[in-house]
Amino acid sequence: MNPTSTPPTSPACATCPVHNLAGLKRLGVDMADWDYVVALAGNPNVGKSTVFNNLTGLRQHTGNWPGKTVTRAEGGFEYAGRRHKLVDLPGTYSLLATSTDEEVARDFLLFGRPDVTIAVVDATRLERNLNLVLQVLEITERVVVCLNLLDQARRLGIEIDDRRLARDLGVPVVRTAARYGEGTQALLQAVDEVATGRAACRPRRVFEEPPVLKQALNSLVTELTRLHPDLPNPRWVAWRLLDGDQRIAEALRDGELPGPSATARQAGAAAAVRGSNS
């Protein structure tokens, strides 16, 4: 993609930590122009901000609870010669957009069209955290799951088969203990691979709906794909329309929706940041 800067000489270099250690350059708030937009999503209190601080060198202190105003934090980092803008989304349990913070997170994933979304999960509460990951995977397939708080999981004697998880989810899974900087390199590498398209994501989208629902969804998906052949997530949009989501209906009417993430990036900076705080 970007052959001028630190080209890997052999395939082994790409996976070599020593090579990549030099690859990270924390940019703080300097985000003049970037190659990729990376979003950080996850439940509250799973260490998103710690990951954010690790990557950007910023000291973002965030706290989200019901009733408090929620905002996005943004920062930048350079890795392997490519510049990334990192957006820390409010911590939520779901993306059904029933509350303001969920709407902020959902809208950014949907309209901001990040090139990669890092889904940070609490390894000690995997099941509950996966609820959100599965919803993220419905909206965008370019996801890296960051299995965080491994230190606590170890303390509690919990073991997680990350390969199995990666296979089941269809996206890369990286083990981290962000508080101790553990796994940051692996995370960066996975993000880079997904961003550049070297790692293919085939997310698992298995929902067993009752037949009536399946029929309704299928019929909407058919029409949606006819109208917008580029739509990356027609099934999810169909579901939201069926559920009476006014925001999505408006987006469809205003032509905000269609288009894969790559076009958004190529269209330039302006297109990639819009949409949230609606």
Contact 142, 198 (CB under 8 A): no
Cα-Cα-Cα-Cα dihedral sign, residues 141, 144, 149, 154? positive
Which three-class secondary structure string do you get for 35-65?
CEEEEEEECCCCCHHHHHHHHHCCCCCCCCC
4-63 positions binding another protein, by CB under 8 A: none
**Does residue 199 bind another protein (CB under 8 A)?**
no
Pick 138 or 192: Cβ nearer another protein: 138
The only residue of 33, 61, 243, 270 in contact with another protein, by rule CB under 8 A: 243
The only residue of 11, 22, 33, 66 in contact with another protein, by rule CB under 8 A: 66
Our CA angle for 237, 240, 242, nearest 5°, is: 110
Smallest Cα–Cα separation from 133: which of 188, 187, 170, 160?
Answer: 170
Going residue by residue from 128 to 147, which x/- string records binding to another protein, judged by CB under 8 A?
A: x-xx-xxx------------
Contact 147, 123 (CB under 8 A): yes
Going residue by residue from 76 to 115, which x/- string records binding to another protein, judged by CB under 8 A?
A: -----------------xx-x-xxx---------------
Q: What is the dihedral of CA 102, 169, 1, 261, to 10 degrees?
A: -40
Read off φ and ψ for residue 82, nearest 5 degrees: -110, 135
**Stretch near another protein under the rule CB under 8 A, chosen from 6-14, 75-83, 208-216, 269-277:** 208-216
Footprint of another protein (CB under 8 A): 66-67, 93-94, 96, 98-100, 126-128, 130-131, 133-135, 155-162, 164-165, 168-169, 204, 206-210, 212-213, 216, 219-220, 223-224, 227, 238-239, 241-244, 249, 252-253, 255
